[in-house]
Amino acid sequence: MNMQIIPPSFPSETKERFVDAMAALANGVSIVTTNGPAGKFGLTVSAVTSVSAEPPILLACLNRKNVAVSAINRNHRFAINILNVESQEIAQVFAGRAVGGKHYDFDQHGWTEGQALGLPILKTATASFECELESYHDAGTHRIFLGRVISALRGDTEPMVYSNHNYGRMTKT
């Protein structure tokens, strides 16, 4: 993969104004998981997107402070579990904000092993993808992971969205 770094010409916006403006963006909510020699970890993220259909490649951005980042690097694989609209509690658990339980707890909410790579897959996910790590790049506080999709499964539930610091659902107009 080719990457060119272009030096900045203008000063960046403040963190506060950037975060406030980005709250207007509606995103899907996913839990990125990994398992292997570096251990089993998961993290709620809203920065997941398709990069390519041929070959199928997904992108996920994770804060580099989270231990899941180094585990994905060492395990060379990750899964993306797209949460359904009823999954607010598990989103909070894997965001490190569990209420009345343990943070990052795989012992609840119904996990299974993926058929292709054995990664943690949420049984109630709207969709799930098992990915082999293709490359990664650091940008600011986050690591951008690119993964080649080895397995993709689609459920029949409605996906959750996150906007204006709230979980919700899409409405049809």
Determine the pLDDT at residue 1.
57
Query: Does residue 169 fall inside a structural domain?
Result: no
Query: Does residue 103 fall inside a structural domain?
Result: yes
Query: Does residue 33 fall inside a structural domain?
Result: yes
Select from 61, 44, 22 the least CA-distant residue to 139: 61
Alpha-carbon distance of 96 to 114, in angstroms, equals 23
- Tell me which residue range forms the domain holding 155: 28-161
**Both tokens of residue 162?**
């996150």
Show the low-confidence residues of the chain (pLDDT under 70).
1
**Both tokens of residue 171?**
């409405």
Query: Does residue 131 fall inside a structural domain?
Result: yes
Tell me how many domains the chain contains.
1
Q: What is the CATH number of the domain that holds 37?
A: 2.30.110.10
**Both tokens of residue 156?**
């029949």
E-state strands within 64-165:
77-82, 111-113, 120-122, 127-139, 142-154, 161-163
Give the type of residue at 126: T
Predicted TM-score (pTM) of the model is 0.91
Query: Does residue 171 fall inside a structural domain?
Result: no
Give the type of residue at 53: A
Kindly write down the DSSP assignment for every residue of 15-46, as one continuous string. Answer: HHHHHHHHTTS-EE-EEEEE-STT--EEEEES
Give the per-residue SS3 of 67-95.
HHHHHHHHHCEEEEEECECCCHHHHHHCC
Query: Does residue 12 fall inside a structural domain?
Result: no
Query: Does residue 172 fall inside a structural domain?
Result: no
